[in-house]
Amino acid sequence: MTPTDSNAQPVSTTQPSPAARLGPARPVTSLLVANRGEIALRIMRTARAMGITTVAVHSDADADSPHVAAADLAVRLPGTAPADTYLRPDLLLAAAAACGADAVHPGYGFLSESGDFARAVVDAGLIWVGPPAAAIDSMGSKIGSKEMMRAAGVPTLPSITIDGDTVPDAEQVDSLGWPLLVKASAGGGGRGMRIVDGPDDLADALMGARREALSAFGDGTVFLERYVTAPRHIEVQVLADAHGEVVALFERECSIQRRHQKIIEEAPSPVVGPALRARLSEAAVAAARAVGYVNAGTVEFVLDGEGDPYFLEMNTRLQVEHPVTEEVTGLDLVRLQLLVAGGSPLPDEVHQAVARGPVGHAIEVRLYAEDATAGWLPSTGTLDEFTVPTDRAGVRVDSGVVSGGVVSPHYDPMLAKVIAYAPTRAEATATLAATLAESRIHGVTTNRDLLVRTLRHVGFVSGATDTGFLDRHGLSTLAASLADDAAVARHALAAALAGQAERRSSARTLGALPSGWRNNTVDRQEITFDTGARTIHVGYRMGRRGRALAEAAVDGEVLDVVAGTVSPTEVVLTTGGLSRRYLVQRVGAVTYVDGPDGASRLVEEDRHPIAAEQVVEGSSLAPMPGSVVRVAVVAGDHVEAGQVLVVLEAMKMEHAVLAGTTGTVVEVDVVEGDQVETGRVLAVVEADPVDDPTDSRVEDPAAS
């Protein structure tokens, strides 16, 4: 265990230099980043600052991505699917050889926790920026790692391993205690994980977890462990060099999660004091020492209601949430990774940060392209606008996308990590919430409003967080739009006025009368928008020569409103003595409005619509592009509303398509393995007839 100083802060320990093959001990001069998007850009930023040549790899889908443009050199990986590109060690090593790279950084995800890839890199004479392959192998199996941690004296939860497709007997399962957690032995990120409340649901949970784990990690092995109700998720950042030095860089709390995947992380934890910090750090260092760890890694714990930590897993790579540790320690973890990989000992600044302890508070959110109200359904499409303001002190944005970029169905839907650092947790929380609220993100659905509402929730502000936070406080409430009905009404009026300003501007340029021009100014302009939740009708009339708003009504209700600035991109409205500035962007029939009262996406309805192609009533449609991994019904089956019909896989997660009504399946249009686009008919359910309560006829048995 790690000795601690008088302030109960963890200090470094030494271990015998591991007999591990990390590649040649020489400074890195040319680095291939075997990853994409945000993390590739993050690694390249530090590498370039260190004078290291950077090499990007990219699939065909990523040819125009920012990480490709940022690199000194780039190599194409033919194809789009991860299995054909970023998960191909042979292509990655060939790319390194082609451009003369002498080191490989795997980032996170993909091959970052593949012991075989680490060995292949070293066998090719390259520097591996990560831990020894043996350490990766040891921690790659959650089952094996738990056994190793028990032997090292690190506290763990009771668990049992599931062999093949078997379901363990009831007595064995009951000995763990309900509820249970099904987890994939390989990988992480919430994939291959299910909470099971009782024995009736166990078989289906095991089957789904195996299938998802096999797809995501190539290994369908799962295990069961006791599920700690309302736990906190706490993890410790560790660093180790090849000279025997191991340090713990304090904890991060990652309790706000969806689908067992973190969406808000912070350092330090609001409930971890010096004594618990020392205890966690000692356990983390013991875990690292047990596997002969070198480079950066994270040891994860679950903290129960009594404040006792239990080992979950060790992530043998750089974590998504590493920026919050960087902010409270003042260290660049990627720089330290590169120094250690090149054979250098941990520099003095690391030991100074350990002795000093965490300073200030940092919070990070993961901004995802997904619909929280629709089962976290990923959202794909073009980012018509992506702007996160960085004018506040302490705000940092790590992103892999830009305005005009495309969010594809091939990869994880994370758009960016937004981080705020401040002297206190309250300041960091307020800064981050305000920054997100002012962000302009158009073209895809995101979890932005959910993040803002969570950060501003009294429970989060007080530090009362655990992994069940979203469910406990009501996902539908937390994920609701920041724009209430009154705000949407103002947004619709702003959209209408900006549209007229755009038409007038275009008409002046062309020397024609503007669309909507009226010789009689008494008549009102009329326009109808679809917000996705409802339609909203706007009527307005301009004053003489169109210089001022004379009258405006939304859904028939006349508004007491004055329009100030009106242009195609900006509208200022004053209502009730309050002036609000709205930024407007129009893309085709869609108008985006952003203001201090939230944001709206408004689709202008065609005044002369053409009859659209009809979809058969009862059709269940693909909500996104994806691959069919399971067809749960056949024609003729009787199903209940909410029953699973088809399971799709997209962005490395499974999504169940459910029956919208109780009835009979009359058509199944897909088979396992099919690739489908958004809107594709998957199955058709004919609803059961509904008894007519007004039918008072009584059948006379004697009539037959």
- Check residue 295 and give left, alpha or beta (phi > 0: left; psi -120 to 50: alpha): left
Token pair recorded at residue 20: 């591990």
- Contact 136/295 with Cβ under 8 angstroms? no
Token pair recorded at residue 654: 């499974």
Question: Rounded distance, CA 527 to CA 537, Å?
Answer: 6
Q: Is the peptide bond before 131 cis (omega within 30 degrees of 0)?
A: no
Q: Which residues contact 516 (CB under 8 A, 6 or more apart)?
A: 500, 503, 525
Token pair recorded at residue 531: 């917000």
Contacts 24+ apart (CB under 8 A), 41-46: 41/66, 41/67, 41/70, 41/398, 41/399, 41/400, 42/334, 42/398, 43/105, 43/107, 43/334, 44/70, 44/71, 45/70, 45/334, 46/332, 46/334, 46/335, 46/338
* H-state helical runs in 133-189: 133-140, 142-151, 170-174
Identify which of 337, 350, 345 has the alpha carbon closest to the alpha carbon of residue 127. 337
- Contact 317/31 with Cβ under 8 angstroms? no
- Contact 145/225 with Cβ under 8 angstroms? no
Of 210, 289, 317, 425, which residue is the catalytic one?
317
Is 518 in the active site? no
DSSP SS3 for 7 = coil
Count Cβ atoms below 10 Å from residue 158 Cβ, excluding itself. Answer: 12
Terminal C-alpha separation, the chain: 87
Q: Which residues contact 354 (CB under 8 A, 6 or more apart)?
A: 9, 10, 11, 12, 247, 248, 249
Count Cβ atoms below 10 Å from residue 100 Cβ, excluding itself. Answer: 12
3-state secondary structure labels for all residues of 452-512: HHHHHCHHHHCCCCCCCHHHHHCHHHHCCCCCCHHHHHHHHHHHHHHHHHHHHHHHHHHCC
Count Cβ atoms below 10 Å from residue 670 Cβ, excluding itself. Answer: 19
Q: Which residues contact 241 (CB under 8 A, 6 or more apart)?
A: 294, 340, 344, 345, 346
Ordered DSSP codes for 49-71: HTT-EEEEEE-GGGTT-HHHHHS
What's the burial of 325, exposed, middle or buried (CB within 10 Å: 0-12/13-18/19+)? Answer: buried
Partners of residue 667 on adjacent β-strands: 684
Identify which of 514, 541, 508 has the alpha carbon closest to the alpha carbon of residue 526. 541
**Amino acid identity, residue 667?**
E
Q: How far is CA 108 from CA 34, 111, 113, 700, in A?
A: 9, 8, 8, 72
Token pair recorded at residue 695: 């039918």
- Contact 177/226 with Cβ under 8 angstroms? yes
- Contact 629/211 with Cβ under 8 angstroms? yes
Partners of residue 584 on adjacent β-strands: 593
Partners of residue 570 on adjacent β-strands: 583
Residues with a known catalytic role: 317
